[in-house]
Structure 1
Amino acid sequence: MSDFLIDEELLAAIDMGSNSFHLAIARLDHGEVKKVVSMSEKVQLAAGLDDNNNLTDVAQQRGLACLSRFVGRLSSVQANRLRIVATNALRQAKNGQDFIDKAAKILPKPIEIIAGREEARLIYLGVSHTMANGGRRLVIDIGGGSTEFIIGEQFEPIYTESLQMGCVAFTNKFFADGEINVKNFNKAVSAATKELLAIANVYKEEGWETVVGSSGTIKACRQIIINLGWSDEKQTITRTGVEKLKEKLLKYKHISELDFEGLKEDRRAVLPAGFAILYAIFNVMDIDRMMYSDGALREGVMYDLLGRFKHEDIRDRSVQALVGRYNIDIKQAERVVKTAQKLFDDVAESLKLTNEDSDLLRRAAYLHEIGLAISHGGYHRHGAYVLEHSDIPGFSQIDQNCLSHLVAHHRRKIKADLKNEVLKVGTPALVYLCLLLRLAVLLNHSRSDQMLPAIELTVLNEQQWCLTVSGDAKQWPLLVADLHDEQAQFKHWNIDLIIQSEKFID
C-alpha cells in the first residue's frame, strides 16, 4: 500500500445502513474528497430481522444483490482505497456472520461492522468536512436502526452516542400495519423520548451553537417542510415547521395515502416513524432550528481512510490514549514494538504479510499489557476482554477482535484448538502475528534496555521457522530456557521453531 494519495486517485466507501446501502466514489482534489459517483438503494436490512434477530433469507438476498451492483462500479478503485462498513442491523443480527461470509464472495474487501459510537464519530467527520461554518455543533443522524448524536468542534468530536431508535425499527414496532393515528404516533414519540432522556442532560450541559441533521429521514422531512413553505429563509427545519408537519401528518389515515411533494416511494413507509423520532428530538433537546448536511457516514469513512494514507490514523491516537488511560509501561511497550517490527520485517515477504498486518502487530505490541490495570493474574485474558468490548475510535469490530486475539495469546500456553478460533476471526496472517508477538514479548522478558542478542527469524517452509541468535548462550540463561519452552507452544499451532547458533547450546 502506498503511503500517500495524489490528486485524481480514487477512494470509495460502501455504507451498509439498516435502511439504505450507499456507495460513494470520490477523487482527491487538493486534499479534499470530491464525489464522482454516488449510488443508494433502499435495502431495509433491519426490516429483515425476525423475532429472534436473525436476518431472513429474503433480506440477505436483497443485500447481496445490491452489493453485486455496487461492485460493478468499483473496477477503477484499488482494494486498499475502499472501505465497507456495516451498522446497526448487522450489529444486531445473530446470523450476521453468515451474511458477511456470503458477501465476502462478492466484495473485494471484508465488511467492517462498526460500533455505534464509531459510527457516530465517522458521521461527524463526514458532516464537518462538508460544512463551511465552524463553532460547536450538535450533529444528529436518524438511521434505520439507530440514531447518532455527536457534539464536536471543527473536525473533532467531543461527545458521541448511538441510541437504539431508527426509522425502520420504529416502523416495524409502531406502524407495522401502515396505519397512522395519534395513538401510534404518541407511542413512537414516547419510546424515542425514553431513549433521549439517557443523554439529554449531559448534552445540554455541554451545549452547542448550531444543530445539523444528516441522512435520509431528516433530508426528507426538511424537503417536505420547505415545499410546504414552513422553513425559514435559510431553509432550515424550525420547531414551528415540525409542529405543522405533525398536524398535517396525523390527518392521514394510512401510509399509502401520504402524498407530500417530493417524497420518494421508498421513503413513504418509514416517514411517520422517522418523523416521530425527529419530533421527540426537537422537544427533548430543546432545539429551535436544524440545518442539514449532505455529509454522512460514507463521506466520513472516506475522510478517515484519507487520514490513514496521510499518517493521521485515528487508530494510532486511540492506541496512545489507551496506553495513557490504563497506565501501560510505555518503555516496555516500545521495547516489544521494536522487536516485533524486526521479526516482522524478517518474515513479511516469505509469509506474504502486508502493511496492514504490520500496523496491527505494532498496535497489539503497544497494548499487550493493558490487562495489568485490572489484575496481574491472567492479565492477557483481561486485556483481550477490554480490547474486544471497548469503544475504540477508528476500529471496527473485526479490528478489535484481531487485537483481542493477539493480546490473548501473547503469553502462557496456547492450545491446539485455539488456532481454529484465530483463523475464524482473521486469516493465517493473524496466526503468524500471534506467534511473532509471543517471540517479541519473550525476547524482552528482562524489561531492560540492556542489549539483546542479535536475532534473525527466517521461514524455511510453511511449518518451519528458524530463529538465529548470535552470541554466547551463557550470557542469557533465562532466555535460553524460555525459547526452548516456546518451541512446544509453537508446535501446538503446527510450527516447528528451530533455534540456531554456533554458541547457543542446549
Structure 2
Amino acid sequence: MNDKPTTELTSQRIAAVDLGSNSFHMMVAEEFQGEIRTLERRGEKVQLAAGLDSANNLSEEAMDRGITCLAEFGQRLQNMDPSRVVVFATNALRAARNRQVFIDRAEVALGYPVEVIAGREEARLIYLGVAHTQADAGGRRIVVDIGGGSTEFIIGERFDAHALESLHMGCVSYTKRFFSEGKITRKAFRLAVESAQQELMNIRSQYLNLGWKSEIGSSGTIRSVEQAIVANGWGEEGITQAGLDQVIEHCLNYDTINDVDIEGVKPDRRQVFIGGLAILAAVFKSFSIKRMAYSDGALREGALWDLVGRSGHEDVRERTLASMQERFYVDRDQAQRVEKTALALFEQVCDDIGAKSEAKHWLSWAARVHEIGLSIAHSGFHKHGAYLLQHSDMLGFTRQGQLLLALLVRNHRRKMHPADLDLLPVRQQSIALWLVRVLRLAVVINHSREAYEVPVPSLKFKRDELNIEFPAGWIEEHPLTMKDLAEEADLQLASGFSIQLIGCEDSLTI
C-alpha cells in the first residue's frame, strides 16, 4: 500500500553529484511549478586533486576517500530514475591518467554512471546555475568560479553565455604548488598571484573587449572570502578590493596553512584557502574589479537545470550538433536519410539487444554527423570526422559522450575496429557495437543519395547475426545495392559478425 506513493515521489526527484577537485557534492531536488526546489545538499572535502602525483596518477588514498564519500551518496540516491541523476567529474579526473580505475570503482559505489566533463562544458553549466539563481539586472556579467583544480570564466547575458573559458589553476593545485610545505610567506603569495595573472593573460584582452556591467563569483573560495569579510567587519555583503586586501593581510600574518584561523572560513576550507585567495587577487587585478557579488547557484544547480531542459526538449546537444553540421558543411539531406533509416532499423531490434532508450539518441546524433570529416578530405573522412568529434569543444557533451560519438563515426565505413570500443566504459561497449552495425547498414542502404527510393528493410536479430529482408523483388532490381551489402557483410564477417540477406530468389546468404 505504501510502496506506490514512495515510488511516485522518488520518480519526481532529480539529483546532481559533482566530483570536484577539492570537494564532492550531492544535490537532490524536485521540479515544482517550473522551478527546482532543493530537498537535500551534502558535501565532503575529498581533495582528489591533492592525490595527483607528478605523473598525474591518483593515489590509492585519494581514491579511497572519494569512494567512501560516494558510497554514502549512493545510499541517498537509491531507487531514483537513472535518467534523472547526473554525475560529473571535473578537473582532477580530467587530468588523472588512471581516471578509469577510479570511475569504475565510483560507479559501483554510487550506482550511477560517472561522466567527465570538459572545462568549457563545466563553465557552461556554472553559468546556467548562476543565471537561474541571480536576479537579472540587465546587461552582460562576468562569472568567476574558483574550483580545486581549475577556474572558470564566463561572460553572458540572461541565460546565454557569450564566452566560456576554463584555466588550469585552482585552490588545491595552487596551494600545493606554491605552499607545498605548508609555509605561508609573502614571496610565495606574490609568486602565486603573478602566476595566476600570467595564466589570465590568455583571456584578458578578449574578455575586456567584450565587456560587462556586473561581476559575480561562485563556489567555495569566493563564498569563504565574502563570509570572512562580513564576519570580521571588513565590509558588507559582496567582495570589494578593500575587503579582499584585509583578508589577504590577515592570512599573511600566519606561518603555515594549518595555523590559519579566520572567522567566517570553515576549518576544512582553511588548508586550501590561501591558494584560492591568490587566484582571486589576480582576478581582481587583471580585470580591475571593484566589487564582486556572490552566487549560491553554480555547477550543480546548472546541471539540474540542464537535466530539466533535456526532458523539456531544450537539449543543448541538439544545438551543438546543428552548429557542427553548419560549420563543417554537412549534407543535411543525406544525414537525415541515414538517420531515418538507422532509427527505423534500430526500433526493430532494440528490445532484443537490450538497448535503453538513450541509445537511440546516440545513433541519431552519429547519423547526423557521420560525414563531418568530408570537410577535410574524402580519403579517410571517417577518421577525420572521429578526430573532430573527440577533440572539439561540444557543449552539452561529456568526454565519454564525445568519445562514443567519435567511435561510432570512426567505424561507420571501411574496416570495423571492435577493439576501439574497449576505450568506452564496460557498460557501453556491447550496445555501442550494435549501434555501429546498424549505422553501417543505414549508410550502405542510402549509398545512392536519393537517386531512387529506398525502402526500410525488415531487420531481425538472432544471436550475433542480423537478418535483413527487403520487399520482394526490390533487391534484384537494384544490383548495386546488393553488391554494397555483400561487401558490407564481408567487412562485418571479418570482425566476427554475420549478416544474412533475404529477399532475392531462393534467399541469399552473404
Which TM class, normalised by the smaller chain length? over 0.9
- Tell me the CA shift for residue 103 of structure 1: 1.4
Distance 1:412 1:134 in 2: 55
- Tell me the CA shift for residue 302 of structure 1: 0.8
Of 125, 128, 143 in structure 1, the residue corresponding to residue 128 of structure 2 is 125
Question: Corresponding residue for 2:257?
Answer: 255
Question: Corresponding residue for 2:471?
Answer: 470
- Tell me the CA shift for residue 244 of structure 1: 2.2
- Tell me the CA shift for residue 15 of structure 1: 0.3
What is the SS of the residue equivalent to 1:427?
helix
Distance 2:229 2:413 in 1: 61
- The verdict on how the C-alpha distance between 1:259 and 1:416 changes in structure 2, with shifts beyond 3 A counting, is closer
Distance 2:278 2:243 in 1: 14
RMSD: 1.7
Aligned pair 1:372/2:374, yes or no?
A: yes
Identity among equivalent positions (%) equals: 44
Alignment deviations for residues 197-230 of structure 1 (CA, whole Å, 9 cap, x no partner): 1101100110111111000000001100111222
- The verdict on how the C-alpha distance between 1:237 and 1:420 changes in structure 2, with shifts beyond 3 A counting, is closer
- The verdict on how the C-alpha distance between 1:239 and 1:250 changes in structure 2, with shifts beyond 3 A counting, is same
- The verdict on how the C-alpha distance between 1:417 and 1:276 changes in structure 2, with shifts beyond 3 A counting, is closer
Aligned pair 1:320/2:322, yes or no?
A: yes
Letter of the structure 2 residue corresponding to residue 236 of structure 1:
G
Letter of the structure 1 residue corresponding to residue 354 of structure 2:
K
Question: Corresponding residue for 2:219?
Answer: 215
- Tell me the CA shift for residue 289 of structure 1: 0.6
Normalising to structure 1: TM-score of the pair? 0.95
* Unaligned stretches of 5+ residues in structure 1: none
* Unaligned stretches of 5+ residues in structure 2: 1-7
Q: Would the aligned equivalents of 1:8 and 1:29 in 2 still touch at CA under 8 Å? A: no
Q: Would the aligned equivalents of 2:501 and 2:507 in 1 still touch at CA under 8 Å? A: no
What is the SS of the residue equivalent to 2:133?
coil
Of 82, 86, 97 in structure 1, the residue corresponding to residue 85 of structure 2 is 82
Of 469, 486, 489 in structure 1, the residue corresponding to residue 488 of structure 2 is 486
Letter of the structure 2 residue corresponding to residue 113 of structure 1:
V
Normalising to structure 2: TM-score of the pair? 0.95
Question: Corresponding residue for 2:412?
Answer: 410
Letter of the structure 2 residue corresponding to residue 247 of structure 1:
E
Aligned residues between the structures: 499
What is the SS of the residue equivalent to 2:110?
coil
Runs of 4+ in 1 over 3 A off after TM superposition: 5-8, 415-425, 502-506
Of 229, 245, 248 in structure 2, the residue corresponding to residue 246 of structure 1 is 248
Higher helix share: 2
- The verdict on how the C-alpha distance between 1:421 and 1:497 changes in structure 2, with shifts beyond 3 A counting, is farther
Question: Corresponding residue for 2:207?
Answer: 203
- Tell me the CA shift for residue 151 of structure 1: 0.5
- Tell me the CA shift for residue 450 of structure 1: 2.7
Letter of the structure 1 residue corresponding to residue 100 of structure 2:
Q
Question: Corresponding residue for 2:173?
Answer: 169
Of 137, 141, 148 in structure 2, the residue corresponding to residue 144 of structure 1 is 148
Q: Would the aligned equivalents of 1:45 and 1:59 in 2 still touch at CA under 8 Å? A: yes
Question: Corresponding residue for 1:54?
Answer: 57
What is the SS of the residue equivalent to 2:258?
helix
- Tell me the CA shift for residue 249 of structure 1: 2.0
- More divergent stretch after superposition (486-495 vs 289-298): 486-495
Distance 2:218 2:425 in 1: 38
Question: Corresponding residue for 1:23?
Answer: 26
Distance 1:504 1:34 in 2: 64
How do 1:269-308 residues align onto structure 2 when only pairs under 5 Å count?
269-308=271-310
Question: Corresponding residue for 1:188?
Answer: 192
Distance 1:280 1:477 in 2: 69
Letter of the structure 1 residue corresponding to residue 14 of structure 2:
L
- Tell me the CA shift for residue 159 of structure 1: 0.4
- Tell me the CA shift for residue 267 of structure 1: 0.5
Of 89, 110, 113 in structure 1, the residue corresponding to residue 113 of structure 2 is 110
- The verdict on how the C-alpha distance between 1:19 and 1:383 changes in structure 2, with shifts beyond 3 A counting, is same
